[in-house]
Amino acid sequence: MTIDLIDAAAARLAGKARLTPLLSSPFLDDLAGRRVLVKAECLQHTGSFKFRGGWSALSALSPEARARGVIAFSSGNHAQGVALAARMLGAPAVIVMPSDAPGPKIANTRALGAEVVTYDRATGDRDAIGAELAEARGLTLVRPFDDAQVIAGQGTCGLEIAAQAAEAGIDTAEVLVPCGGGGLTSGVALALEARAPGLRVRPVEPEGFDDATRSLVAGRIETNTRRAGSLCDAIQTPSPGDLTFPVMSRLCGPGIVVSEDEALRAMAAAFERLKIVLEPGGAVALAAALYHPRDVAGEAVIAIASGGNVSAETFRMALDRYGEAP
């Protein structure tokens, strides 16, 4: 993993991915006790940063491999990113999704033209299912985070943050990143190391799925005992990846763990103050910035709002509980 790989991904994404804004609100600044800037990846194609990695991986394949097709496994955001990239490139796509993934994510993935294969998240092995289908059909597996080209694509978000922070006059800050397997976290960390070394990445996870935080403390990959059951479905992964963890271990500060209620509260704050829609997993970094001020250093903090693919029921719950509240 090098900055050259990320730069190459950025060149292929030019004109394909959206340049997402860095948003701010004086109300959020007051709440956090420091300047808060929010990288609104929820406004990216398919509603999350995952389109970056999907396009990066598929556009790097040979024409022959794309013609045979790709397979991915995902709770929804990687699924949609790969499905859209495949449709744009004319490649068949098969997506292995947990049966308890939010309905809109499954429906959107199918609507983008992908074949969806579901499995039980608590008892099934998505890696085994994906490997079996890939071998049987000659498909290229595009992993959700432990894939060099996927990491490179996610790293383009970091390139944008570096440029936007410089424009905002920020050269020192902590960058809070919602973390599942670590593809976005490690990609952003690599980009910032090269382009904005004063910005330090901090992974943020939900309670009960804090494998990256524990792994950074232990100095080795730790695994979650639970595989399902969090509102933050987008980032409930078993463990960090073999590619992502060494990068996080070298470049990231300590992890921060937030509660589901804090994620819901951050969703309401983002809607009311920034006019953006976040899903629980996509809101954990903002939750850390707003409700864990003692865990964050410096006069400014950048939080990535990584996704906005939320069901109406969950979004309504966030607003009913925390709407019009500080």
pLDDT digits (tens, 9 = 90+) for 306-317: 999 999 999 999
DSSP string, 21-86: -EE--HHHHHHHTSEEEEEEGGGSGGGBTHHHHHHHHHHTS-HHHHHH-EEEE-SSHHHHHHHHHH
312 shares its domain with 296 = yes
Percent of all residues in the chain with a pLDDT value above 90, rounded to a whole number: 86
Res. 105 pLDDT band, cuts 50 70 90: confident
Tens digits of residue pLDDT in 92-103? 999 999 888 878
24 shares its domain with 94 = no
pLDDT at 50 over 60: yes
Tens digits of residue pLDDT in 141-170? 999 999 999 999 999 999 999 999 999 999
Res. 326 pLDDT band, cuts 50 70 90: low
pLDDT at 131 over 90: no
20 shares its domain with 132 = no
44 shares its domain with 88 = no
Average pLDDT over residues 203-207: 97
Instruction: Give pLDDT, residue 325.
Output: 55
The last residue of a domain, from among 141, 166, 183: 141
Amino acid 74 reads: S
Number of structural domains the chain divides into: 2
Average pLDDT over all residues of the chain: 95
Q: Which residues pair with 256 in a beta bridge?
A: 204
55 shares its domain with 45 = no
174 shares its domain with 238 = yes
Contact call for residues 36 and 301 (beta carbons, < 8 A): yes
Residue 44 phi, psi (nearest 5): -70, 160
40 shares its domain with 57 = no
246, with CB counted inside 10 A (0-12, 13-18, 19+), is middle
Give the helix/strand (H/E) hosting 14.
none
16 shares its domain with 101 = no
pTM assigned to the model: 0.95
Res. 268 pLDDT band, cuts 50 70 90: very high
**3-class DSSP assignment, residue 219:** coil
The last residue of a domain, from among 141, 171, 205: 141
**3-class DSSP assignment, residue 37:** strand
> CA-to-CA distance for 52 and 59, rounded, in angstroms?
11
177 shares its domain with 311 = yes
Task: Print the domain residue range for 135.
Answer: 51-141
Catalogue the active-site residues: 50, 306
240 shares its domain with 194 = yes
Name 229's Cβ contacts closer than 8 Å, sequence gap at least 6: 208, 236
Cα 213 to the chain's mean position, in Å?
A: 16
162 shares its domain with 185 = yes
CATH of the domain at 67: 3.40.50.1100
The last residue of a domain, from among 118, 141, 164: 141
Q: Is the dihedral of CA 306, 186, 102, 233 positive or negative?
A: negative
> CA-to-CA distance for 217 and 198, rounded, in angstroms?
22
Percent of all residues in the chain with a pLDDT value above 70, rounded to a whole number: 99
171 shares its domain with 296 = yes
